[in-house]
Every structure is written in C-alpha cells, then in structure tokens.
Amino acid sequence: MPIQIEKERLLLVEGKDEIEFFNAFFRYLNLDTIQIINVEGKINFRDEIKLLSIRPDIEMVKKIGAIRDADENAQAAFDSLKDSFNLVSWEPADTPNIFSDSNPSIGIFIMPGADQNNGMLEDLCLQSIKDQPDLRCVDDYINCIESLREERLNKLSKRKILTYLAGQQELVTALGLAAQKHIWNFDAPAFNELKTFLLELAQ
C-alpha cells in the first residue's frame, strides 16, 4: 500500500535502520514536523523521487531532505541524488547540507559530513562514542582477526558497530535499535552538522 503524505516536510532515507535511527534522533531534537520515508536502498532513490513527484498530495510538501551514505565517494553520492531530483524538475542546492530556494525546497546530506569524502552513518555513530574505553577492545578484536587471517577486512565501520553492540550489557543487534536504546551520544560534536541540517528541514 502506498504511503500517505501526512506532513509538509519529508526526509528520504536508505532503509529500516535509518528509520529507527532518525526517529530516535527526532525525539532527541524534539522534532515532530518531519515525515520519514524509507526508499528501501540507495539504488531506489531515483525511482522513489520520481513516484513522489507525480503524487497529487505532493503539493502540500514544502521541504524535502534526502540523506544517504557517501560510501566510497561523497561527491558521486551527492551528484547521484542531485541528478535524481533534477530529473523531475526539482532543484536542490549545488552543495550538500543546504536547502534550495525552490518549491519544494530540496536539501541533500551525505553522511558522515561535508568534509569527509567517504563513510556512512556508522562512522558518525562511532565518532560519537570515540571516548568510550570499551571501543579500544573493538579495535583490538578487529586487529587480531586481520592479523590471524593476514588480510584486511572490508566494511570496517559496520563491523565495529556490530562488535561494539555485542559487548553491551543489553544485547542490541542493529544501529537503529541502538539509537532507540540511547547507546549513541547525540550530544557529541560528530552530530552537529546533521543536527543543523534537520533543524533547517524542520523550519
């Protein structure tokens, strides 16, 4: 069943984990004016944006934010989202983290942040707990595994998140659920850029 647009401000995110994370982040920021839409994978942003643009109820929407991971190339991730909006004649700003003056106003945020060329939401969460002593145990474990196998592991941020969560007193198995359980430090400077973007979306 298609979603119903209920709010004037929309946030498009990659998946279920992001839904859980941003619901927790919105509670922390005391925001209730933004509707989160799950595009179910970064490859689906283009199709979902196209479908949104032809809905009759899209006329009520004033602002749209889109957030995705930089992965290996932040500029490529931004360009991909920008092109997706341009294809339906929506005009995002030419740089990340800024909302355009168009109607609807469009903003794109590439995680972890504007000054980082690669990475993902997991990197932001790790930065928020960088002073936690048990994070050193996670690094030691990863280093041990790589040494034993004599090869580098991929997707290190995701692996570190899952290893860190496995060590919590209450077992949590996903980043989004961890946000619901207040495991990530939303007060950390790592989240400042994201806060600014979301507060701008909410205005």
50-68 confidence digits (pLDDT tens): 999 999 999 999 999 999 9
Summarize the confidence of residues 43-56 as an average pLDDT.
96
3-state SS track over 154-191? CCHHHHHHHHHHHCCCCCCCCHHHHHHCCCCCCCCHHH
Long-range contacts of 51-55, Cβ-Cβ distance < 8 Å, separation of 24 or more: 52/10, 52/88, 53/88, 53/89, 53/90, 54/88, 55/5
Helix (H) or strand (E) holding 145: helix 135-149
Q: pTM score, two decimals?
A: 0.94
Residue 1 in tokens: 């069943």
Transcribe 100-141 into DSSP letters. -SSSSEEEEEEES-TT-SSB-HHHHHHHHTTT-TTHHHHHHH
Summarize the confidence of residues 124-132 as an average pLDDT.
97
Residue % of the chain over a pLDDT of 90: 96
For residue 1, pLDDT over 60 is answered with no
Q: Where are the alpha helices (DSSP H) in 8-114?
A: 16-29, 45-53, 74-86
What integer pLDDT is reported at residue 9 of this predicted model?
98
What integer pLDDT is reported at residue 198 of this predicted model?
99
Is the domain spanning 9-119+186-202 CATH 3.40.1400? The answer is: yes
Residue 2 pLDDT level (bands cut at 50, 70, 90): low
Q: Could you tell me the residue ranges of all domains in the chain?
A: 9-119+186-202, 121-180
Residue 67 in tokens: 């957030």
